[in-house]
Structure 1
């Protein structure tokens, strides 16, 4: 069974509320829409919907609509007959046929064209469609679960997403909370990922996180949510030099380096801050900037924490607080 790597782990009220919503919706043979930021686990929730439903022993078929070019998406969804277009050498069964009797999970629905949306709507409403290059009607029994990380009602008002399809998909909408709103779940998730990574690299046991590392995990803003947490924790484990000592350092930005090449379109120009033209996550931006400056101060001051603190016009205790917040050891090699 090809399941996603993100686990169902959590004890926060926001997460438990989502699980209750999923359990209720799973029993019904109706479309469901899952919305949430990137990395929040939309595919995990779709899997749970399927395996808790009466269709649990039938196919669960997944398709990321943004991963396939527009000309090929119709063929991927509905299939085609041999000769339907230039490269169609043989008949192809589409995802709707593959999911007959089960569930079809359509991720990144907002990336589909209005024409494709109309065909998806027809299958949801009538259970019928035709393969490309064929006039023969095929009937299927498929439960559609859609997902998006953008606001579909806004796109519908702008004419960029079919309002009638949105109405059909939104029989029930499950909105996933970002990780920053479920702090109680951060350490249990981090320990799960760390234990699995420790096993993968041959450690006999996972030694745990130091107090400073745990504090850094809890205070980071996690703009990439659970996916970002997984990467940061696994990176911290495999880079840890002493398997019998607690993990002391978490590097949140793998690109962070005193030798990092200058960025195209950097944040500064002629000594002045370049203001963004797109919405940004201010807290995450400020956290990343603070961490970058702390590391740079250590580098230019040879790892001397007192000098680095003075360089940033901070007291020694204030600078140590910054290091703890970001899981830095205080060495210039951070």
Structure 2
């Protein structure tokens, strides 16, 4: 029944560009399942310190509103709290400080209500109020029916604000409008989750509800942070902090104080106690990107955190207990680093409980059209363009034929360059295929860099070079030899011939 209600309600909410009309149609559906006398919709405007009512519907009428109500600084602090629930039952209006002050000024007869927050990222956008003239009528089952409608309400509200030219007064809502649209059509922000990343998303859904440590592996720019976001968003910790740390960007001398915090007086300049990244993430998730860049000394301390779920601040003696979920990511081969003594074996086993291998862009070319559309929408806002520039089928095929050594990160940079060059469109990506010095064209029309100028005059045996090149091919394919995207296909060689060469060279 809930699935049918969600489908019917979404259809009605999206049935008209007039907010009050779509709200009226939605009301007719929802009142059959929930004991409501009406619905109102308002937004919080931090730049004006007020709440603006946009629409109200009941049995008698549906009307667009333009009523602004000033609120106190204390009320604003309440609205800015990131841990407020998405949906809340208020069976006595006096239980909610903001609502008891604001709502009766527009709808005096309200006695109880369900508040559905409209949220974009961590930003509170506004409220949909489902109200009754009778106290204490709402139950948890009613809230559960309404909760899935949050993203749709957020989207149509953002569109309505744009039509009223109110978005010009609050530029942040422009990006919220786009991000909310993406939230509906790209679940968890993962473009290709139903296509090239389908296997990855199945793994994400399987592990997200647990507290197990996750290790994301993939080439630079392949989207490890996006998948980390998806794990957090699908987990029970979604309303708690999500702290992202680039381990490769922290100087070795600052690693301890950045990760674990410090006590006042721990060193010169430590004028007050500071929480480190782990403590900031307590109750939520910490994402340790480029984990392979941590020096061995820091790896020892990280292992202790994973084993004991405690940290000790620099200059302190007290153990701080943590409730935390760890997601790590790397583009490096940690197993090979273990063999070389560059990465601790015990830490590797702690991190690799549930490894997820993220395919490179060239291994999921079917996602390129989806990603292109996604990035066009993102960059339109960044470049302040009024409409999306066109991409011809020929140019899209050109993108599809490219090797993408920089993966998704390179794709967005390429699209931005093309949009800067031709903001009105059509976009042209021919610059991708201009051969530079040291590049060799292969028969598919793609190019790779083979630059002898980087080699010394001391040459190595040809078999050694072939061995290294095959090993590199196996690394970038994740050890896949046969089939689409396998090393044999990339090297344009019969798989059995390649396997024989590998045996001869001692690679298998």
Smaller-chain TM-score bracket: 0.7 to 0.9
State the shift of 1:92 in Å: 1.1
- Alignment correspondent of 1:101: 283
- Alignment correspondent of 2:322: 140
State the shift of 1:208 in Å: 2.1
Answer yes or no: is the 8 Å Cα contact 1:198–1:238 preserved in 2. no
Q: Distance in 1 between matches of 2:354 and 2:193?
A: 23
The yes-or-no answer on 1:81 pairing with 2:260 is no
Answer yes or no: is the 8 Å Cα contact 2:214–2:351 preserved in 1. yes
- Alignment correspondent of 1:28: 210
**Are residues 75 and 251 of structure 1, via their aligned partners in 2, closer, same or farther at CA, if it must alter by over 3 Å?**
same
State the shift of 1:267 in Å: 7.7
3-state SS, counterpart of residue 141 of structure 1: coil
- Alignment correspondent of 1:47: 229
Q: Distance in 2 between matches of 1:267 and 1:256?
A: 10
Once the two structures are superposed, the pairs formed by residues 236-255 of structure 1 within 5 Å of their partners are 236-240=418-422, 243=424, 245-252=425-432
Q: Distance in 1 between matches of 2:326 and 2:385?
A: 42
- Alignment correspondent of 2:358: 176
The yes-or-no answer on 1:194 pairing with 2:376 is yes
Answer yes or no: is the 8 Å Cα contact 2:258–2:276 preserved in 1. yes
The yes-or-no answer on 1:221 pairing with 2:400 is no
State the shift of 1:253 in Å: 8.5
State the shift of 1:7 in Å: 4.6
State the shift of 1:2 in Å: 6.9
Q: Distance in 2 between matches of 1:2 and 1:275?
A: 48
- Alignment correspondent of 1:157: 339
Answer yes or no: is the 8 Å Cα contact 2:218–2:330 preserved in 1. yes
State the shift of 1:155 in Å: 0.7
Q: Distance in 2 between matches of 1:251 and 1:167?
A: 44
The structure number with the bigger radius of gyration is 2
**Are residues 115 and 253 of structure 1, via their aligned partners in 2, closer, same or farther at CA, if it must alter by over 3 Å?**
farther
CA RMSD of aligned residues (A): 3.1
**Are residues 38 and 276 of structure 1, via their aligned partners in 2, closer, same or farther at CA, if it must alter by over 3 Å?**
farther
The yes-or-no answer on 1:274 pairing with 2:453 is yes
- Alignment correspondent of 1:311: none
**Are residues 112 and 249 of structure 1, via their aligned partners in 2, closer, same or farther at CA, if it must alter by over 3 Å?**
closer
**Are residues 276 and 143 of structure 1, via their aligned partners in 2, closer, same or farther at CA, if it must alter by over 3 Å?**
farther
Q: Which deviates more, 32-41 or 107-116?
A: 107-116
- Alignment correspondent of 1:116: 298
- Alignment correspondent of 1:63: 245
State the shift of 1:97 in Å: 0.7
Per the normalisation by structure 1, the TM-score is: 0.73
**Structure 1 or 2: more strand by fraction:** 2
**Are residues 11 and 49 of structure 1, via their aligned partners in 2, closer, same or farther at CA, if it must alter by over 3 Å?**
closer
Q: Distance in 1 between matches of 2:418 and 2:469?
A: 27
Unaligned residue ranges in structure 1 (runs of 5+)? 258-265, 284-334
**Are residues 153 and 88 of structure 1, via their aligned partners in 2, closer, same or farther at CA, if it must alter by over 3 Å?**
same
Answer yes or no: is the 8 Å Cα contact 1:152–1:166 preserved in 2. yes
Q: Distance in 2 between matches of 1:174 and 1:201?
A: 35
3-state SS, counterpart of residue 222 of structure 2: coil
3-state SS, counterpart of residue 275 of structure 2: coil
Q: Distance in 1 between matches of 2:316 and 2:299?
A: 19
Q: Distance in 2 between matches of 1:124 and 1:240?
A: 50
**Are residues 94 and 207 of structure 1, via their aligned partners in 2, closer, same or farther at CA, if it must alter by over 3 Å?**
closer
Aligned counterpart in structure 1 of residue 391 of structure 2, from 209, 225, 249: 209
